[in-house]
């Protein structure tokens, strides 16, 4: 591992002083804190990383991973078998490009070490650094973003409303599939949806997502990268999100998405962005983000219970014929999750609704989209 000490702030939040005395079962007493004197994460299952780069956020914004930590450390740890290391914050560079380069280097080191990371931003365009860690390894991935906007504007410079253009269309490209969750139609140019559709990417508007939240689970199960802008959460539940809306996901919805992300064995990089503690009434947004991390870790514990697909005795098999296609659906006896078989014999994550649709002699949309990507 490269020497990364100079990429991190000299003082970790845990060393800031004036912190409460934590109960032995609270996270503040159980996490491993990677300080300048002890900067390692070899024993961790998941690492927590902050990046306070805020030059792309509105004037006066002060993104604060430490405000989330203050709430997170007070939560009780119900999953002591999941080892968590808090790496602290990336040092702010002389320029935005310097900070991005440092973040990219650290995320890449975490990726090659085989650890999972939860990144606390910062502007939503830091998602690009999440992606570039995979790109450096030439690893083709599925990426999922939850955001009320679709940041696909054309711009000469990469910014919070244009970073997806570089991520999805830049060459060489390592995005196999992209899914956008929770966009709000009145904030999105319809031509952007046409562009995503031409690229054979998927997008789910807010209303449908809230009605069928369980449909997001197979999407996240198949993803390696997940990025969530806090503006996807309605203002009343997250008053410190930057540029939010009276409509959006509820706090419980956001926790559910993070739980799904944690359950995914494929998920390697999860980011939470767009938080301004200067506007956080009673610390509600910081509390919500801390609880979202708590649910991610609970999801990791649940995901560990899953048996390998090769252990067929751990799965119920359902053989279905639809529109001249014979396929097999598998349902886990441990977690209740579903998979479906494609013509090339691969099993891909799916939902119970996909199985019911196939039973009606109809082609599940998820099956059809997978076939399009193979073609």
Residue-wise DSSP of 165-181: HHHHH-SS--EEEEEEE
Res 124: pLDDT: 92
The b-or-e profile of 87-111 (16+ CB within 10 A means b, else e) is bbbbbbeeebeebbebbbbbbbbbb
Tell me the three state secondary structure of residue 340: strand
Closest CA to 221 of 186, 259, 182: 259
What Å distances lie between residue 282 and 27, 230, 285, CA to CA? 21, 17, 8
Res 258: pLDDT: 98
Tens-digit pLDDT profile for residues 312-337: 999 999 999 998 889 999 999 999 99
Res 16: pLDDT: 83
For residues 62-87, average pLDDT: 92
Residue 207: how many other CB atoms lie within 10 Å: 12
Tens-digit pLDDT profile for residues 173-229: 999 999 999 999 999 999 999 999 988 899 999 999 999 999 999 999 999 999 999
For residues 119-143, average pLDDT: 95
Instruction: Collect all residues with Cβ–Cβ distance below 8 Å to 258 and sequence separation of at least 6.
Output: 228, 270, 292, 293, 295, 296, 299
Confidence of residue 154 (pLDDT cuts 50, 70, 90): confident
CA 208/CA 210 separation, integer angstroms: 5
Res 55: pLDDT: 60
Tens-digit pLDDT profile for residues 250-280: 999 999 999 999 999 999 999 999 998 888 9
Closest CA to 222 of 346, 124, 315: 346
pTM of the model as a whole: 0.95
Res 1: pLDDT: 60
CA 313-315-321 angle, to 5 degrees, is: 120
Confidence of residue 158 (pLDDT cuts 50, 70, 90): confident
- Residue 359 pLDDT > 80: yes
């Amino acid at each position: 591992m490269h020497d990364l000490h100079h990429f991190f702030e000299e003082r970790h939040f845990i060393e800031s002083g004036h912190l409460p005395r934590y109960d032995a079962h609270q996270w503040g007493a159980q996490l491993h804190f990677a300080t300048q004197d002890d900067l390692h994460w070899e024993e961790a299952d998941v690492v927590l990383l902050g990046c306070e780069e805020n030059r792309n956020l509105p004037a006066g914004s002060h993104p604060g991973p430490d405000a989330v930590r203050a709430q997170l450390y007070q939560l009780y740890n119900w999953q002591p078998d999941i080892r968590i290391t808090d790496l602290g914050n990336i040092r702010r560079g002389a320029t935005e490009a310097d900070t991005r380069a440092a973040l990219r280097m650290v995320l890449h080191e975490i990726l090659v070490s085989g650890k999972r990371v939860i990144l606390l931003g910062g502007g939503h365009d830091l998602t690009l650094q999440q992606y570039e860690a995979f790109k450096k390894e030439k690893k083709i991935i599925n990426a999922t973003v939850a955001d009320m906007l679709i940041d696909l504007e054309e711009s000469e410079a990469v910014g919070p409303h244009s970073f997806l253009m570089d991520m999805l269309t830049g060459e060489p490209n390592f995005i196999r599939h992209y899914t956008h969750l929770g966009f709000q139609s009145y904030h999105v140019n319809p031509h952007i949806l046409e562009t995503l559709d031409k690229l054979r990417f998927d997008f789910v508007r807010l209303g449908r997502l809230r009605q069928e939240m369980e449909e997001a689970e197979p999407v996240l199960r198949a993803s390696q990268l997940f990025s969530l802008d806090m503006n996807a959460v309605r203002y009343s539940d997250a008053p410190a999100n930057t540029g939010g809306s009276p409509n959006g996901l509820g706090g419980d919805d956001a926790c559910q998405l993070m739980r799904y992300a944690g359950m995914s064995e494929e998920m390697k990089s999860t980011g939470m962005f767009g938080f301004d503690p200067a506007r956080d009434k009673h610390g509600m947004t910081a509390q919500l983000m801390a609880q979202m991390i708590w649910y991610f870790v609970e999801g990791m514990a649940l995901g560990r219970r899953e048996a390998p697909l090769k252990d067929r005795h751990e799965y119920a098999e359902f053989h279905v014929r639809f529109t001249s296609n014979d396929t097999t659906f598998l349902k886990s006896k441990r977690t209740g999750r579903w998979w479906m078989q494609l013509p090339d014999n691969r099993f891909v994550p799916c939902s119970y609704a996909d199985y019911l649709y196939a039973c009606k002699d109809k082609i599940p949309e998820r099956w059809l989209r997978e076939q399009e990507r193979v073609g």
